[in-house]
Structure 1
């Protein structure tokens, strides 16, 4: 996924899952890492990072 797709996906995920979106992204990273799909795990790590940016400073 390119950067625009990553941020678009993060916004949609946050819109549908709210504060639980970060946990959902982390679960997807874990799932794809376990199955050995490095590319999808990396994409979900980037989505996870974009979600952290969307949430802003002061939240963990």
Structure 2
């Protein structure tokens, strides 16, 4: 998945689930991994990382 699409998914998930979004993405990744869907699981891990980055306090 393109990086811009990952960010779109991450934003949408964060808007829909707030502080629970990162856990939702992690759960989706774990479920897909358990089902043998490694490529899709990797995409959801990227979404999870993007959410984590969005939640990080911005310094400046």
The residue number in structure 2 matching 1:40 is 40
Give TM-score scaled by structure 2 length. 0.92
Q: Mind listing any 5+ residue stretches in structure 1 that lack a counterpart?
A: none
Give the TM-score normalised by structure 1: 0.92
- Extract structure 1 runs of 4+ deviating beyond 6 A: none
What's the CA shift for 1:56?
A: 1.1
In structure 2, runs of 5+ residues without a counterpart are none
Tell me what 2:23 maps to.
Answer: 23
Deviation of the 1:26 alpha carbon = 0.7
| Structure with the greater alpha carbon radius of gyration | 2
Paired residues, what number?
Answer: 58
Alpha-carbon RMSD: 1.3
In 2, Cα distance between equivalents of 1:19 and 1:39: 25
